[in-house]
Amino acid sequence: MPDHQINAFQIAQHQFDHVAEMLKLDQGVREVLRWPAREFTFRIPVRMEDGDLQVFTGFRVQHNDARGPNKGGIRFHPDETIDTVRALAMWMTWKCAVVDIPLGGGKGGIIVDPSRLSPNEKEHLCRGWVQQMVKNLGPRQDIPAPDVGTTPQMMGWMMDEYSKLTGTYSPGVFTGKPVGGGGSLGRTEATGFGVIYTVREALKYLKMDPKKCVAAIEGFGNVAQYASIGFVEILGGKVACVSCWDRNDKKSYTYSHKDGVDGRFLLSIVDQYGTIDKKKAEAAGYLVEDGGEWITKEADVLIPAAIEGHVNAETIKKMSSRVRVVAEGANGPTTPEADEILKKNKIFIIPDFLCNSGGVTTSYFEGVQNDMNFYWSKQEVLQRLDEKVTVAFNDVLQMADKEKVYMRDAAYMVAIQRVVTAMTMRGWLQGDW
C-alpha cells in the first residue's frame, strides 16, 4: 500500500494478513480476527456555553474479547475516523495478548478538538458518550481509558456517569482515573517508562551501552514526556530532541539542546495538550526547528511517539545511518513501505503493541486494585510493570530468534497464537456454535 494512501486500519489488516499467512491460519479464523466483533457510531448533543446546541459524532469499536473484557482508550481528536478507531482496537487486542494480560481490544473516540471546549462542555460531552454506550460497558465487558485528547479527570466524569446510570459504584469500568478517585499510582509514567524498559532490553540484546546512546523522540505528549525522562534517568543516556504540535501556530516543531533535552524542564513548560512554550524553551537555550527534523538527528535510538504513519517511505530517507533501534511509542507510526526499508537495513524494531504496552498493563493493574479495593505504591506498580514488560519483550525476542523472523512479525505471532488459543478453548472455532 503506497504511503500516500495511508489508512491505519488497512495498515493493521496488512500486518495481520502477513502474519496470518506465516501461521497458516484457517481462512475463517482470519476473517474473525481481521474485523471488529462490534462497532458503535452515535451522535452526542451538547448545549454549548454560548447557548448553541452542537452534535458530535462518537465511536466505540470492540475488536475481540476472547481473552477478557475489551480494553482501550477514548480519543478526542478533530480528525478522528472510524478506520483509525478500528485499527487501534485491533492493535489493542494484540497488545493485551503480547503482554499476556486477560483483556481484549477496544477503542473509542469523538470527532472534536478538545482545546476548543470549556471544562463544562468537556464534561457534558464525556457524560454524553457514556449515556450512548452504557449498556455495552462494564468491568467485565468493556473498559475504556484516556487516550489522545482525554485526561484522568474526564475518566472520572465518565466513571461517575456510568455509576449514576447503573446505580452502582463502579470504579473499574474506566481506568486512568485520578489518584484518589480510583486511579493507580504510576499510571502517568507507565507508557513512557514501558517504552524505556523495552529499549533497555533491546540495547542489552544488541550489546549497546545505554550510557553511550542518544535518542531522538517524536512527540511530547504523555508517552514522549516520560520516555524522554526515562531515557536519561533510567538508562543514563542522552536525548537529542523531542517534537510537538503547537496548537497556537498550528504546526509542528522539533526542540533540541546542545547538552541534551531535559524532559522534566520541558514538562514544566508544556500545556495539557502537549504544546511546549516556545519562548521559554528558546530562552533556556533550545533550538526550535521544523517538526520533521527529529528523524534527521544523529541518534542510536528513534522513538516515534506521536501519531500514525509518520515513519514512512519519504521521512525514512532522512533518517541517520547511525540509528540501530526504532522503538514505536506511538500506535502505527511505521507504514508498511517504511517497515520493509527498516527490515532491509537490519534496524532492530520494537513494535508498537509491545513497546507501548506499559499503559494498558498499568490500566489492568488499576482494575485489579479497584476489584481488591486495595492500592499499591508507585514503586510496586512500576516494579510489576517492569517485570511484565520485560517478560513480554523476551517472549517476542525468543520467537524472533526461533522462527528467524522480524520482531514485528514475532510479536504478532505470539499475540495471534494466544488469541486463537483462547478462541479455541472457548469453543468459538468449533462447528457447533
Cα–Cα distances (Å) from 42 to 13, 38, 140, 141, 171, in that order, read 24, 13, 23, 19, 24
Concerning whether 135 is annotated as a catalytic residue, the answer is: no
Q: How far apart are CA 14 and CA 83, in angstroms?
A: 14
Share of the chain above pLDDT 70, in %: 98
The residues, any chain, with a CB within 8 Å of residue 171's CB and separated by 6 or more, are 159, 177, 181, 182, 370
**pLDDT value, residue 432:** 47
* Residue 68 DSSP label: S
**pLDDT value, residue 43:** 98
* Residue 374 DSSP label: -
Residue type, 217: I
Could you give all domains of the chain from N- to C-terminal order, each with its CATH number? Answer: 37-169 (3.40.50.10860), 190-350 (3.40.50.720)
Q: How far apart are CA 259 and CA 250, in angstroms?
A: 28
The string of pLDDT tens digits covering residues 54-96 is: 999 999 999 999 999 999 999 999 999 999 999 999 999 999 9
**pLDDT value, residue 166:** 97
Per-residue pLDDT of the chain (433 residues; tens, 9 = 90+): 444 456 889 988 998 999 999 999 999 999 999 999 999 999 999 999 999 999 999 999 999 999 999 999 999 999 999 999 999 999 999 999 999 999 999 999 999 999 899 999 999 999 999 999 999 999 999 999 998 889 999 999 999 999 999 999 999 999 999 999 999 999 999 999 999 999 999 999 999 999 999 999 999 999 999 999 999 999 999 999 999 999 889 999 999 999 999 999 999 999 977 899 999 999 999 999 999 999 999 999 999 999 888 999 999 999 999 999 999 999 889 998 999 999 999 999 999 999 999 999 999 999 999 999 999 999 999 999 999 999 999 999 999 999 999 999 999 999 999 999 999 999 998 754 4
Q: How far apart are CA 68 and CA 367, in angstroms?
A: 13
Q: How far apart are CA 46 and CA 38, in angstroms?
A: 26
Identify whether the C-beta of residue 103 lies closer than 8 Å to the C-beta of residue 424: no
**pLDDT value, residue 11:** 85
**pLDDT value, residue 6:** 67
Predicted structure pTM score: 0.91
Catalytic residue among 71, 95, 107, 177: 107
The string of pLDDT tens digits covering residues 378-418 is: 999 999 999 999 999 999 999 999 999 999 999 999 999 99
